[in-house]
Amino acid sequence: MHDLNKIEILRKQKKVTQQELAEGCGFTRNGFSKMIEIADPKVSTIQAIADYFNVPITYFFEDVAKSENDAERSIDEVFEAMKELVKSKILK
């Protein structure tokens, strides 16, 4: 999963218009807008954006991966707590 809000953050930080970004990535503004609107652009589109801003493609996935790992860890912690609770009930 990727974070498309980061595109807007970079665009505003670098003071790049949507038109400039689209053209810099080899797209028309309308085509680029449609790709972003569907919120599921191809990896090649995300790579083009990463290249334009000179950031690694992982930039668009970092926080998402972290939050997914945190959620997974939380589920594991709940599962472990449940196992301990069941063990304590059985041993009593």
Domain boundaries, the chain: 1-60, 61-92
Each residue's pLDDT tens digit, 21-39: 999 999 898 888 887 777 6
Record: fold of 1-60: 434 Repressor (Amino-terminal Domain) (1.10.260)
Residue pair 83/73 in contact (Cβ under 8 Å)? The answer is no
What percentage of the chain has pLDDT greater than the value 70?
61
Residue pair 64/53 in contact (Cβ under 8 Å)? The answer is no
> Which of the four pLDDT bands, split at 50, 70 and 90, describes residue 54?
very high
How much is the mean pLDDT over the chain? 75
Over residues 14-25, mean pLDDT:
92
